[in-house]
Structure 1
Amino acid sequence: MSRNRVFAAAMAGIMLTGALAACSSSGGDDGKDGPTTIKLLEFQKARADVVKDLLPEFEQAMAKQGREVKVELVADPLTDEQFKTKITQQLHSGTAPDVIDMGGTNVTGLAGAGYLLKLDDYLDKWDGWDQYYESAKDGARQPDGSFYSIPHEASVQSLFYRKDVLKRLGVDTSQPRTWDELIDRLKQVKDKTGEAPIVIPAGTAWGGGTWAEGFLPIMAGTGSTFYDAKSAKWKLESKGLSATFDLYGKLVKDGLLPVRDLQNPNPWEPTKYKKFPKGTLPVAAQGSWGWKYDWGPEGAAPIKDVRDKVGTWDYPALVPGTKPYSINAGGFGYSVNADSKSADAAVELAKWLSTGKALAEQLAAVGAVAPRKDLSGTGPYKDEPSLLEAERKLKTSILPLRGDGEDQVSQAVQGATAEVLSGKANGDQAAADFAKEAKELLGGNRVAE
């Protein structure tokens, strides 16, 4: 299940501690009108909780530099869609906070609309920028080549599996080199348990997770071009796309996907929150956040001794000439309102929160991977072995190309995989239906011929 859905579930019933409020800082960067006050928006409770305790330390750090800066935390728990709608309205009306913490998929559209401050000059002068992994920088770089956010986390997507269950069943737990090899193992599990053994997000009920956590990670490793950044166009027919839809078709035909669960509302609940923790569904496509938010001690469905019972595989190769890989799934970053009256102070806050102990505490709290090289020895992040292992994979993981029209492509993927789940289409038919719907949704000017 995606972190966004976890946060949404965790926030159910929580009273809003704040609301998106006007950004205008009292006093500018020159401080002539008194202390500089900047506002920081956190729309997910877990992030707001950890950042709240860090802000006084930032204010003290600024005081030591002779700058009187006050930070007001705007904690406004929202789902992803609610946040996207609300922050767009606030930025358009000139009433958004100075600093906004959000996922990279939101940055592209807001930066393109001129709502976010270009950070290139700030980053060029910041020695901390040299510590970032190139993959993290590449993920934050926007289509115009510039940066409009400072990434303060990363994540790695792979296949999580129950080591204890597979060993008990006598099934090989070594890294599968190909999907055919993995499917053979999955059939062994099904023969012994009678249950569908793997969950990969698919269909319409999982929403955007079908695209970002299910389809895209598989497609990205096929070597086929899906989105061309230079032309800003999508290629809707390729060997990789056909192979990916064929894989879904094969998994459904062989009874390896939990079709009924995937068709029901909130499909992550019976799969990732019940069957995977019970061990009756031992393989799940998942991101590194799962160590905390899904199966950690305080997660949605805790697994006792999770590090002993759960392991990860890279995605196996799907087409000839490729090899196993993990996916760099990006993460949240701090962006600055282009209309902030205290842009310099806002950038200082974003940099400070993305450095040292302040960053280590956030990463450990939300179960994220460090996007920079110098955190592995800093507590409490250094005490998270599963996150450190994911960080090592980050260095060689694949960064999928994503661009304008992604929401429309996601919708077409959801519809096509839903047809596979229902038995209305095999892999070839789903690929054709996907290409047709995606072209209609995108418009011809965003589709490569």
Structure 2
Amino acid sequence: MHKRILSVAALGVVATLGLAACSGGSAPAASNGPVDGKGKTLNVWIMKGTNPDATAFYDKVEKAFTKETGATVKIEEVQWADAHDRFTTAMAGGTTPDVAEVGTTWTPEFADAGALLELDKYIDGEKGLKDDLVAGLKTAGTYDGHLYGMPWYAGVRSIVYRTDVFDKLGLKAPTSWDDIVKAGDAIKAADPNMLAFPVPGAAEFQVYPWVWGAGGEIATDKKGTWTSGMDSAKSQEGIQFYTDLATKHGFSSAGATTWKETDLKDAFSQGNVAMMLSGSWTPNALIQANPDLKGKIGAAVIPGKDGGIAPSVLGGSHLSIFNTTKNPDLAWAFTKMMTTGDLAKEWASQTGYFPGVQSAMKDALSSTDPLVAPFAKQMVDGGGSVPVSPNFGAVQAKKTTNSMMQSILSGQKDVATATKDAAKEMTDLLNQKK
């Protein structure tokens, strides 16, 4: 396990300049003064497994913040695969770090366990910051009315498509569900061997945009009791449309019934797919896998039923402060430094994700790059969150949504039956007492 020792200071002048630089002065201005970190130490866990080598980034942090306070930060990189067990063991033993990167679906779980510090007073103490947080990440970091996860970085899924195929057929990027079907029909007629819009059966997060796009909900909380909405008329309409792409329109294949997102990306990189849902972090990997695709890939927001933007699940991370910290103000200074301004933009650039504050996304939102701007718009205007419940992990572990999808795609159940069964299971799991 890789460990590095860094010197850290509070925001002070460096962060203030960084915020101004990232948005021409429109970003939140620091309203809290510098924190004296002399003689103090922070322990920080950052996840390892999907992020690049951050040595140079950490060195830059060290130089900037040693000058400000001289506080020492011990950054330990933890493998994602081991992280949840590491966290639960540390929480049980009272040995949690001061600050840690926490996956968005873990934040409510750890908050419910009483392990995290409420961040509301810190957010409210920074002028404009509360309104600058990316909505989907803010929602995912809020539990029982309080913010426990400061948005750090995120990725989002949108439609990725073959621009060369669309151009050849005189097609435009779809802006409604009808457009998707019309484009799919044209692609299928022109090349029956190409999958116009495959529907993977083991890709949970690709299902929810169609539920939301039809006006449905995954689950809602009323006074502490959760009720899944997967079997509502609107949710069923969205799921019917999505599965019909395979079962009715023939835009998918029987093999895709068990596909994960990685299988979908492999098929696209092999030149066998015209449209798919895929993450903002994937286009470069697709081109790397098949250089012939360079200049032939475009992206578009996921449309709602009649247009607009269907919300798409934000994947990413928060930075959270654990309540065992002896230096909460210094922990917040570090958290703010990592999540706002130039350092946040630089980290996002290195990882291929987007920052967690809207002001740091100015360049992305104004970009003319066809593989940047649509994803940025999807994230800011159409970013969604799965139910913020400490039990949603149990729903994912049970594979409730994937099982529902596979039963429909395989013809074992119709949409009404499959969604009813899934809704019951989801409701039971979300209300399960620990």
Tell me the TM-score range normalised by the shorter chain.
0.7 to 0.9
For 2:350, the equivalent position in structure 1 comes to 365
Give the Å deviation of 1:100: 0.8
Aligned residues of 1:149 and 1:333 also touching (Cα < 8 A) = yes
Alignment of 1:323-362 (within 5 A): 323-327=308-312, 329-362=314-347
The reply on whether 1:220 has 2:212 as its aligned counterpart is yes
The reply on whether 1:44 has 2:54 as its aligned counterpart is no
CA separation of 1:63/1:220 partners in 2, compared to 1, >3 Å: closer, same or farther?
same
CA separation of 1:386/1:187 partners in 2, compared to 1, >3 Å: closer, same or farther?
closer
- Selected match of 1:247 from 227, 231, 241: 241
Q: Which residue identity is paired with 1:238?
A: S
For 2:102, the equivalent position in structure 1 comes to 102
- Selected match of 1:54 from 57, 63, 69: 57
Give the Å deviation of 1:330: 4.9
Residue 413 of structure 1 aligns to a residue whose secondary structure is: helix
Residues 18-38 of structure 1: CA deviation (Å, up to 9, x unaligned)? 59xxxxxxxxx976xx73222
For 1:24, the equivalent position in structure 2 comes to none
The reply on whether 1:64 has 2:63 as its aligned counterpart is no
Q: Which runs of 5+ in 2 are unaligned?
A: 5-34
Aligned residues of 2:155 and 2:353 also touching (Cα < 8 A) = yes
CA separation of 1:303/1:87 partners in 2, compared to 1, >3 Å: closer, same or farther?
farther
For 2:286, the equivalent position in structure 1 comes to 295
For 2:228, the equivalent position in structure 1 comes to 235
Aligned residues of 1:59 and 1:68 also touching (Cα < 8 A) = no
Q: Distance in 1 between matches of 2:39 and 2:48?
A: 28
CA separation of 1:328/1:132 partners in 2, compared to 1, >3 Å: closer, same or farther?
farther
Residues 46-79 of structure 1: CA deviation (Å, up to 9, x unaligned)? 53622x33334434444433x2212222112232
CA RMSD in angstroms comes to 3.2
Q: Distance in 1 between matches of 2:358 and 2:145?
A: 23
Q: Which runs of 5+ in 1 are unaligned?
A: 1-15, 20-28
CA separation of 1:152/1:30 partners in 2, compared to 1, >3 Å: closer, same or farther?
closer
Aligned residues of 1:248 and 1:417 also touching (Cα < 8 A) = no
CA separation of 1:234/1:193 partners in 2, compared to 1, >3 Å: closer, same or farther?
same
For 1:13, the equivalent position in structure 2 comes to none
CA separation of 1:249/1:427 partners in 2, compared to 1, >3 Å: closer, same or farther?
farther
CA separation of 1:269/1:355 partners in 2, compared to 1, >3 Å: closer, same or farther?
closer
Give the Å deviation of 1:401: 5.4
- Selected match of 2:181 from 183, 186, 190: 183
TM-score normalised to structure 1 length: 0.77
Give the Å deviation of 1:128: 6.6
Residue 73 of structure 2 aligns to a residue whose secondary structure is: strand
Aligned residues of 1:248 and 1:427 also touching (Cα < 8 A) = no
TM-score normalised to structure 2 length: 0.80
- Selected match of 1:418 from 406, 413, 418: 406
- Selected match of 2:416 from 428, 435, 440: 428
For 1:211, the equivalent position in structure 2 comes to 204
Residues 287-309 of structure 1: CA deviation (Å, up to 9, x unaligned)? 212234x3254xxx354564x31
For 2:89, the equivalent position in structure 1 comes to 89
For 1:315, the equivalent position in structure 2 comes to 302
Aligned residues of 1:249 and 1:426 also touching (Cα < 8 A) = no
Give the Å deviation of 1:229: 3.6
The reply on whether 1:390 has 2:390 as its aligned counterpart is no
CA separation of 1:269/1:58 partners in 2, compared to 1, >3 Å: closer, same or farther?
closer
Residues 138-157 of structure 1: CA deviation (Å, up to 9, x unaligned)? 42441322111211223332
Aligned residues of 2:268 and 2:286 also touching (Cα < 8 A) = no
CA separation of 1:303/1:259 partners in 2, compared to 1, >3 Å: closer, same or farther?
farther
Residues 386-436 of structure 1: CA deviation (Å, up to 9, x unaligned)? 334432343321534513242344422111111123221222232233234
For 1:259, the equivalent position in structure 2 comes to 254
Q: Which residue identity is paired with 1:419?
A: S
For 1:272, the equivalent position in structure 2 comes to 265
Give the Å deviation of 1:242: 1.3
Aligned residues of 2:311 and 2:384 also touching (Cα < 8 A) = no
Q: Which residue identity is paired with 1:41?
A: W
Give the Å deviation of 1:171: 5.3
Among the aligned pairs, what percent are the same residue? 21
CA separation of 1:224/1:201 partners in 2, compared to 1, >3 Å: closer, same or farther?
same
Give the Å deviation of 1:88: 1.5
Residue 299 of structure 2 aligns to a residue whose secondary structure is: strand
Aligned residues of 2:46 and 2:75 also touching (Cα < 8 A) = yes
Q: Distance in 1 between matches of 2:173 and 2:134?
A: 29
Residues 161-209 of structure 1: CA deviation (Å, up to 9, x unaligned)? 11112323x151232422x43123213322332233223432xxx3xxx
Aligned residues of 1:43 and 1:78 also touching (Cα < 8 A) = yes
CA separation of 1:128/1:37 partners in 2, compared to 1, >3 Å: closer, same or farther?
farther
CA separation of 1:238/1:140 partners in 2, compared to 1, >3 Å: closer, same or farther?
closer
Alignment of 1:165-204 (within 5 A): 165-168=165-168, 170=169, 172-178=171-177, 180-195=178-193, 196-202=195-201
Aligned residues of 2:175 and 2:308 also touching (Cα < 8 A) = no
Aligned residues of 2:210 and 2:310 also touching (Cα < 8 A) = no
